[in-house]
A = this chain, B = another copy of it.
C-alpha cells in the first residue's frame, strides 16, 4: 500500500487535519471502575466514524454484494475521557491500495485529542469471502479525501 510520505501529513492530533466528521455522546455505561471511559470503547468510537460513510445508503460505496472488513486497527490513547460529554471523530484517508485502504482518525473532546487511530479496510466479496479490487467510484471517493 502506497501511503505517499506520511511524515509530511498534517498532524493526526490536530482537528484541522480531518475533513470527515461525526460525533458521539458519552454514556454512563462507557465508564469503567477506573472512573474514565473504558479503553475498549475507543474502538467503538473509531467504528462510528468509519461506518457512517462506508455503509451510507446514498453514498453506496460498497456494491450490493460487497462488504468492508477491518483487518487492522491501531489506537494511540492520548488523554482520558470522562462522562458526561460529547466527542467528535475526524476521519481522513491515509492510503489507497488495490483491494484495501488505510484510514486515519482522531477522537476529540473539544480541542483535546483523546486518541488517534489508523485502520486498514479491505473490500470483501460477500460470496467468495475474498478481497476484491476497489471499484472506480469508491477509489475516486477515497482519492478526493486523501490526506496531503
Residues of A within 8 A of B (CB): 23-25, 27-29, 31-36, 38-44, 46-48, 51-52, 55, 67, 69-77, 83-84
Contacts and interface: CB of A to CB of B under 8 A. Distances in A.
Contact of A73 (B28, B52, B75): B75
A27 B39 contact: no
A88 to B, nearest CB: 12
Contacts of A52: 84
A72 B67 contact: no
Contacts of A39: 43, 47, 70, 73
B71 A77 contact: yes
A105 to B, nearest CB: 13
